[in-house]
Amino acid sequence: MTTEIPVPVVLAGARGHGRWHLDNIRRLADARLVTLAGVCEPKPLSDSELAGFGDVAQSPDLGDLLDRTGARAAVICTPIPTHTGLALTAAARGVHLLLEKPPAPSYAEYERMAAGVAAAGVACQIGFQSLGSHAVSHIRDLVRDGVIGEPLGIGAAGAWARDEAYFRRAPWAGRRRLPDGTGSQVDVVDGVLTNPLAHAVATGLALDGATGADDLTDIRTELFRANAIEADDTSYVSITTRTGSRVTVAATLCAERPDEPYVVVHGTRGRITFWYKQDRVLVQRAGHGPRESTYARTDLLENLVAHLTDPAGATGLLVTPAATGAFMRVVEAVRRAPDPRPLPASAWHTVPGGGGDGTVRRVVRGIDGLVAASADTLTGFAGLGATWARREADPARTEQEAAR
């Protein structure tokens, strides 16, 4: 059934990264595409936080909020372990979804979420905003047309910085798992590859065309941490697809000089660099000067609204759960891998965090160059000669090996 506009939306998780979604909903409300029907937060938002929205229902109980507001769509931007449960709560009420990445902390939870959404017949968009960039299809066309020759592989690089307060912002931050209150533990898997720089992984896979759960044959990881956390903050993953192509990602939250993450598509006669947060593309090829261009981007919530309100049903979702199956295989490989290896104190130092509150951040010496070299050569930290990575404390294992 076609949904009328404006579409009433509930936002679950309106602080932290959720503030971005709140601002985006405000933009779409000004365009009369949506209305903010409710906010689900343990602590209600203040009037100033909800400025411009008028009367908005609030509750810490998503199911109750959906029942009371009659919302047709929900944006879920809550802690990773809650994604599947909240998505199924919404789906059971026929409410369509924009589910923040990563969609789940394990492949089993991802399958449970995807099956529940499909059974309920609701639309579900996964929040990989970079996959809304029009540059993605443009780059695929360039590669298909042989502009850079035969493809040789794809390498992604992400050099970001997060201070120690970042890992104290929430109980689940920087954790691989958490007690569930019953004597067991739930998965979190809040590592650099699976959360902060997950877009680098998902974008590299999308450019290769390997997005489905069955599109990968081998996943090898090098997981390290400079910070006093459980999860990885400096890592490398090498992915082999069923067509034999390779996608690699080197990422850190301990950069010397933080910069924009990017993905490089290598070919026999050139390369294409995509700064995915900026929608910026640089084509370099033999016999031609460099060509740089910037592309538009389709907002994923706007795409979901268009999908719901299109009477002809011609507007498809850009990032369905099925389109994140390969990414979730990588999450599962990270989850099953041995715990990240702590870097020796000699490999990092501290600098002021920049917040003016005395917080420091840890910087891995030489990591910026290693991350860039990895994207250029499709090589991991150990292969590039990083002294702290020469001895593999945990042998790289494929997901299939880890499962045995």
Ramachandran bin of 385, using left for φ above 0, alpha for ψ from -120 to 50, beta for the remaining angles: left
Is 196 within the bounds of a domain?
Answer: yes
Q: Is 20 left (phi over 0), alpha (psi -120 to 50) or beta?
A: alpha
186, 285: one domain? yes
pLDDT score, position 311: 78
Whether residue 245 is found in the same domain as residue 384: yes
Tokens of 277: 């947060």
Same domain, 78 and 34: yes
Query: Rg of the chain's alpha carbons, rounded to an integer?
Result: 21
Cis before 6 (ω within 30): yes
Q: Considering 85, 110, 130, which residue would you say is the last residue of a domain?
A: 130
Which residues form the domain of 119?
7-130
Looking at residue 401, what is its pLDDT? 37
CA 123 remoteness from chain centre: 19
Instruction: Compute the distance between CA of residue 113 and CA of residue 111 in angstroms, rounded to an integer.
Output: 5
The pLDDT value recorded for residue 225 is 98
CATH number of domain containing 329: 3.30.360.10
**How many domains does the chain fold into?**
2
pLDDT at 33 (0 to 100):
98
- Tell me the pLDDT of the chain (404 aa) as tens digits: 578 889 999 999 999 999 999 999 999 999 999 999 999 999 999 999 999 998 999 999 999 999 999 999 999 999 999 999 999 999 999 999 999 999 999 999 999 999 999 999 999 999 999 999 999 999 999 999 999 999 999 999 999 999 999 999 999 999 999 998 888 899 999 999 999 999 999 999 999 999 999 999 999 999 999 999 999 999 999 999 999 999 999 999 999 999 999 999 999 999 999 999 999 999 999 999 999 999 999 999 999 999 999 978 789 999 999 999 999 999 999 999 999 999 999 999 999 998 778 899 999 999 999 999 999 999 999 999 999 998 643 443 434 433 43
Dihedral sign from CA coordinates of 63, 65, 69, 75:
negative
CATH of the domain at 84: 3.40.50.720
Same domain for 264 and 185: yes
